[in-house]
A = this chain, B = another copy of it.
Amino acid sequence: MSSTSINVDRLNQYLLGSFAEARTEARERVKDTRLHKIEGQVLADQRQHVFNNLKILVEQDAISRAFPTELGGRDDHGGNISAFEELVIADPSMQIKAGVQWGLFGSAVLHLGTEEHHRKWIPQIISLELPGAFAMTEAGHGSDVASIGTTATYDEDAEEFVIHTPFRAAWKDYLGNAALHGRAATVFAQLITKGVNHGVHCFMVPIRDEDGNLLPGVGAEDDGVKGGLNGIDNGMLHFTNVRIPRTNLLNRYGDVATDGTYSSSIDSPGRRFFTMISTLVQGRVSLDGASIAASKVGLGIAVTYANQRRQFAAAGNREQLLLDYGRHQRRLIPLLAKAYAGTFAHDELLLKFDAVFSGREDNDEARQDLETLAAALKPVSTWDAMDTLQECREACGGAGFMAENRLTSLRADLDIYTTFEGDNNVLLQLVGKRLLTEFAGQLKGMEPLGLATFAAKSLAENFYSHSGLRNVVQDALDTASERRTAKNLKDPQVQHALLSARVRMAVEEIAKALNAVRKASPGDQADVFNQHQNSLVLASKAHARLLQWEAFTRAIEAFEEKHGDSWDGTAQVLTWVRDVFALTVIEEELGWYMMHGLISPHRGRTLTEYLDRLITRLRPHAQDLVDAFGYTQEHYRAPISSGREQERQDEAHAYYEKLRKDPDAPVSEKTLRAKEKAAK
């Protein structure tokens, strides 16, 4: 039907992104069968397997990119994350254990420590001679790091810090490397000196000797079996007056002199805390990318299978391919579009991350933008990975449930990505607060028309008049012809207007509610905020979708610029994928759009019908679209996508064809009865 086709190689190259070399190298590396997760191992064996594999990564110099050149690294931050993300394909436990050692423990020393710390510990960390835990989270405080209970009290006489766990809820928990392999930990604790608590700082604390025995005052417990990632020895740590040298304070942003005097380059304790914490943003950046990688592998497996697997006889013919079913297309193709959107947005996030961490663009605003971008994208990509892997698993039926076919295993391992490195809901609330702040800032810009005056007008009117959006959206919706509406729905301006209106109107609504109680008691203000917490989180999610859409659109433009030849249908197909993404996201909240007057009920139907048509149009390209991700059977390593299904289908088909031609083959009772009936 469609003569448009994708140039798979070209698209594959493009999708590798801004750090293609590092990513390609890592994708080659993870083909190594030694690195692959072994399903069904007991805990101890899984942990040993993964620990051994970290050593292979060290041998292959696969993990040092982010460290400074003078310490054996390459100062390549974006490339490091790109390569790191691909480790998920071999074994998510290996990825996260590597993340603990080099991304968290190592990064804490690198970003929170100073030169002496770097010289002393970074080489040992890179070489895995010093395996370490990153002891931030406590049983009582996960996302609210500022409230942790562990204390580090300076003893002037001994020139030592005393690390102490004051109550059970202050036990450090869920720490990789804590139960077994860690010899030291970067411990976050309230720094107290001269009777003043200067807030959370990070300390290097030895925890085990060379034989693996816990040091005096250090307690550890094993978290045992988890829902996934069982190759990592997560555990708890607690400290009973454990003494460490003063110089073990990682003192980049705050220091204590021998006499106990505290000093910091950052005056405000709040800003100091956020500066320290923000050095750890790479965790979120990499989870975004790893989740998208896992989604792609899942989609690769499920789409390949659905293009070979047949079930239920089609009208008079061979059984029908799963992917030819309307429902099956509706289940998988929008997820495919989300994986594309995630890929392009992630590349922008990587570029931003690299700019900040390389120092090319390291300022407060850039850091804050990076934080917000990561906090917005990580929740949607980790949730998308859950939805995608689950839908892929169900789309493969019983075969999808077999561990050998990867889908359940990836899903179980990635589950925790939705709540670690920042609980998704907490992250989205952070984004929401930033959106509210920005909104308030914009309002200030248009004084004297303040928020109060603002509130008098109707929302929609307000919105349209300030954004200049009115014409675009209204044109799209007021037109009498449904076809014209469909045409409008593929207009990027219309898509953008709708997606951004979703965010802006929600934020405006919440801002007004908050403004109305700005003179009320803090308790009442908190109540009003709480009443709108759910809407704010949903608005932030919509904001993330908008960011993905914008990245997708920019990527298509850049692709067209690069490969402008008109015979190549790739950009055309990509545009359809982008349209499916936009309309899927809008359809998921169609009620919201209608309630806010952005889409009329009459036109809502057009959207759903047009989305159906687009999905049908993409069906012939589904295989190319997953192939273009660049993963091969060595990455999928799932028997169901290996071509085995095709062989079986062909064998069964040949058997029935032979029977059909064989005059002695049994006839079916149904056929006989039909003939008898006809004869009567």
Q: Which residues of B contact A666 (CB under 8 A)?
A: 153, 192, 195-197
With A and B bound together, what is the CA distance between A657 and B262 in angstroms?
26
Name the distance in Å between A378's Cβ and chain B's nearest Cβ.
14
Q: Scoring A residues 510 to 538 as 1 if CB is less than 8 Å from chain B, else 0, what string do you get?
A: 00000000000111011000111110010
CB-based contact B652/A403 at 8 Å: no
Q: Select one of B269, B409, B604 contacting A595, CB under 8 A.
A: B604
A330-B534, A534-B326, A605-B595 given; A401·B648 CB < 8 A: no
Complex: chain B residue closest to A174, CB-CB: B398
- Is A274 among interface residues, defined by CB-CB distance under 8 A? no
Q: Which residues of B contact A225 (CB under 8 A)?
A: 39-40, 402-404
- Is A141 among interface residues, defined by CB-CB distance under 8 A? yes
- Is A587 among interface residues, defined by CB-CB distance under 8 A? yes
Residues of A645-680 at the interface with B, using a CB-CB cut-off of 8 Å, are 647-649, 651-652, 655, 664, 666-670, 672-673
Q: Which residues of B contact A533 (CB under 8 A)?
A: 325-327
Q: Which residues of B contact A139 (CB under 8 A)?
A: 399, 648
Q: Which residues of B contact A664 (CB under 8 A)?
A: 195
With A and B bound together, what is the CA distance between A590 and B199 in angstroms?
47
CB-based contact A408/B403 at 8 Å: no
CB-based contact B425/A228 at 8 Å: no
- Is A166 among interface residues, defined by CB-CB distance under 8 A? yes
With A and B bound together, what is the CA distance between A554 and B232 in angstroms?
50
CB-based contact B412/A149 at 8 Å: no
Name the distance in Å between A538's Cβ and chain B's nearest Cβ.
9
Q: Which residues of B contact A144 (CB under 8 A)?
A: 311-312, 319
Name the distance in Å between A187's Cβ and chain B's nearest Cβ.
18
Complex: chain B residue closest to A199, CB-CB: B669
Q: Which residues of B contact A24 (CB under 8 A)?
A: none
The quantity of this chain's copies bound in the complex is: 2
A228-B401, A315-B522, A412-B408 given; A590·B601 CB < 8 A: no
- Is A167 among interface residues, defined by CB-CB distance under 8 A? yes
Segment of A352-360, A389-397, A544-552 in the binding face:
A389-397
A40-B224, A228-B401, A400-B419 given; A166·B669 CB < 8 A: no
Complex: chain B residue closest to A267, CB-CB: B673
Q: Select one of B153, B199, B530, B616 contacting A668, CB under 8 A.
A: B199
With A and B bound together, what is the CA distance between A390 and B424 in angstroms?
13
- Is A407 among interface residues, defined by CB-CB distance under 8 A? yes
CB-based contact A648/B228 at 8 Å: no
Q: Scoring A residues 612 to 639 as 1 if CB is less than 8 Å from chain B, else 0, what string do you get?
A: 1000100000000000000000000000
Q: Which residues of B contact A167 (CB under 8 A)?
A: 648, 651-652, 655
- Is A439 among interface residues, defined by CB-CB distance under 8 A? no
With A and B bound together, what is the CA distance between A594 and B599 in angstroms?
10
Q: Which residues of B contact A587 (CB under 8 A)?
A: 591
With A and B bound together, what is the CA distance between A167 and B173 in angstroms?
53
Q: Which residues of B contact A311 (CB under 8 A)?
A: 141-144
CB-based contact B394/A419 at 8 Å: yes
CB-based contact B316/A269 at 8 Å: no
Residues of A283-334 at the interface with B, using a CB-CB cut-off of 8 Å, are 311-316, 319, 324-327, 330-331
Q: Given A139-B648, A326-B531, 11 other A-B contacts at CB below 8 A? A: A140-B652, A144-B319, A153-B666, A197-B666, A199-B668, A224-B402, A225-B403, A226-B401, A315-B525, A324-B530, A327-B534
21 residue pairs bridging A and B, Cβ less than 8 Å apart? A41-B42, A42-B42, A142-B397, A149-B652, A192-B666, A195-B666, A197-B666, A197-B667, A225-B404, A226-B408, A227-B401, A315-B526, A325-B530, A326-B533, A394-B424, A401-B416, A401-B419, A412-B412, A590-B594, A590-B595, A595-B601
